[in-house]
Amino acid sequence: MKKKRKRKMGLPAAIMICVIILLAAVLCVVLYAQGHKNQTSGKKTEDTGSNNADNEQTDAGSDVDADLQVPEETENGEQTGGASSTADSELNAKIEEKIAQMTLEEKVAQLFIITPDALTGVDGVTAAGDTTKQALQQYPVGGLIYFEQNLDRTEQVKTMLENVQTYSVERIGLPAILVVDEEGGTVRRISGKGEFGIEAVPDMADIGASGDTDQAYETGKTIGTYLGELGFNLDFAPVADVLDAPDNAIWARRSFGMDSALDGQMVAAQVRGMQDAGVLATLKHFPGHGSARTDSHDGMAVVDKSKEELASSDWIPFQSGIEAGAGVVMVGHISVPAVIGDDTPSSLSYRMVTEILRNELGYTGVVVTDALNMGAVTQRYTSEAAAVKAVMAGVDMILMPADFSKAYYGILDAVNRESISEERINESLRRILRVKMA
């Protein structure tokens, strides 16, 4: 009997078996990997859930902080991010809308701060009635400045200023800037006057001599508080001029002193105090009047300093005040030939106002001239010429021209002749309206 021979497996069958074994192995690996992934995935989901909870708490905290923080600023001073940025964009849109609604005549009128006497043609105005209302209908000026002859007692001032604001809003939809010179000491219209019952504010020289910036802050806050209660919204103070010598009769009592660094601290503190009380502060008299020996009320005041000398001393308090957020800078009628190149008053100089104050010191707020009825201006320029030069220099608001009507029509004529563009007027209006509409 023959033995049965075992049949050898063919090559195709062997390959098939190898393929099946390989597939089985791959399947095992896949199943194992999937199971491990599910375990780690469950763990990761729990971590992610924990992280989400942390993120929610962090985000909630950030929202609260965003309400409390001042938005960061770009190099050009524009705010970025957060609710404040949105509010700023909305304000800009409202400003542009308002400018688009205004006539050229209204725009130009907004560039002026004059006395109620100049507005109405009445000497010693102490009330705001029909005459004031009619005058504002014709000339809706940006602001009015009041002196002692206009200020009798508390209720009289409150009523007068309330009426002016009512008329201004009715006429042009904007409040008026209502100004007073209330430095303290030798220059004060309210404090120490018996009719108002407010204790006299001392000279800034006394506060500077104390070396106490808290005292400067409280002085600013005190002044801002009583001015705000009366209805004023801008004070032409503090003096940021650095005294060059104790015997300088013009500035000896009005300046904080001879130490520019200390002066800067005092100026910044007073700005914060005043503006914390709701009244805008003004840094005056850029580029620094402290070394001039002539009062610009009487004639040309000259400062014989180089740009480097001014930057290392006179400009320090202005820079400090700007950094503290001062709402306005007043440019004086000071001739600085070594910087400007000739004897043009700084208030009318493009070099001083635009190139230095704005571009180099970085000031983006409202710039106002010192009073244009001073001898330093009137002895050399007509009212219309001075007003036009101020606007061309980069000034936003023109204070007390010798002849308001001539100055007003002088600017209108310059725009109509295209010596000044309407867009240049709009640039100043944007800064003015930002103060008024904020």
Q: Tell me what the mean pLDDT of segment 181-192 comes to.
A: 94
Beta bridge partners of 177: 143
Specify burial of residue 388 (Cβ count, 10 A radius: 0-12, 13-18, 19+).
buried
Residue 58 pLDDT class (50, 70, 90 cuts):
very low
Dmax over CA atoms of the chain, in Å, equals 152
Predicted confidence (pLDDT) per residue in 291-346, tens digit:
776 667 767 789 999 999 999 999 999 999 999 999 999 999 999 999 999 999 99
Q: Report the alpha-carbon angle 290-200-283, nearest 5.
A: 35
Q: What is the pLDDT of residue 385?
A: 98
Segment 112-116 shows an average pLDDT of 98
Element (DSSP H or E) covering residue 235: strand 234-235
Please give the structure tokens belonging to residue 430.
Answer: 């944007």
Instruction: Centre a 10 Å sphere on the Cβ of residue 386 and count the other Cβ atoms it contains.
Output: 27
Q: Which residue has the higher pLDDT, 420 or 65?
A: 420
Homologous superfamily (CATH) for 103-437: Glycoside hydrolase, family 3, N-terminal domain (3.20.20.300)
List C-alpha distances in Å: 58 to 51, 63, 67, 85, 393.
Answer: 10, 9, 14, 21, 50
Comparison of pLDDT for 78 and 139, the residue scoring more: 139
Per-residue pLDDT at 17: 52
Residue 310 main-chain phi, psi, to 5 deg: -65, -45
Please tell me the least confidently modeled range out of 61-70, 73-82, 229-238: 61-70
User: Mean pLDDT over residues 149-172, rounded?
Assistant: 98
From residue 428, alpha-carbon distances to 79, 180, 227, 252, 362 in Å are 20, 22, 26, 34, 16
Range of lowest pLDDT (62-76, 195-209, 271-285, 399-413): 62-76
Query: How would residue 22 be classed by pLDDT, with cut points 50, 70 and 90?
Result: low
Residue 82 backbone zone (phi > 0: left; psi -120 to 50: alpha; other: beta): left
Write down the domain spans for the chain. Answer: 103-437
- Do residues 219 and 201 lie in contact, with contact meaning Cβ atoms separated by under 8 Å? yes
- pLDDT at site 3: 41
Strands ordered across the beta sheet of 398-399: 234-235, 177-180, 143-146, 112-114, 398-399
Separation CA 435–CA 428 (nearest Å): 11
- Tens-digit pLDDT profile for residues 253-290: 999 999 999 999 999 999 999 999 999 999 999 999 88
Average pLDDT, the chain: 85
How many percent of the chain have pLDDT more than 90? 74
In angstroms, how far is the first alpha carbon of the chain from the final one? Answer: 119
pLDDT of residue 297: 72
With bands split at pLDDT 50, 70 and 90, how would you rate the model's confidence at 92? Answer: very high
What confidence score (pLDDT) does residue 278 get? 97
CA dihedral 366, 372, 373, 376 (to 10 degrees): 130
pLDDT, average across residues 115-127? 98
The pLDDT of residue 25? 53
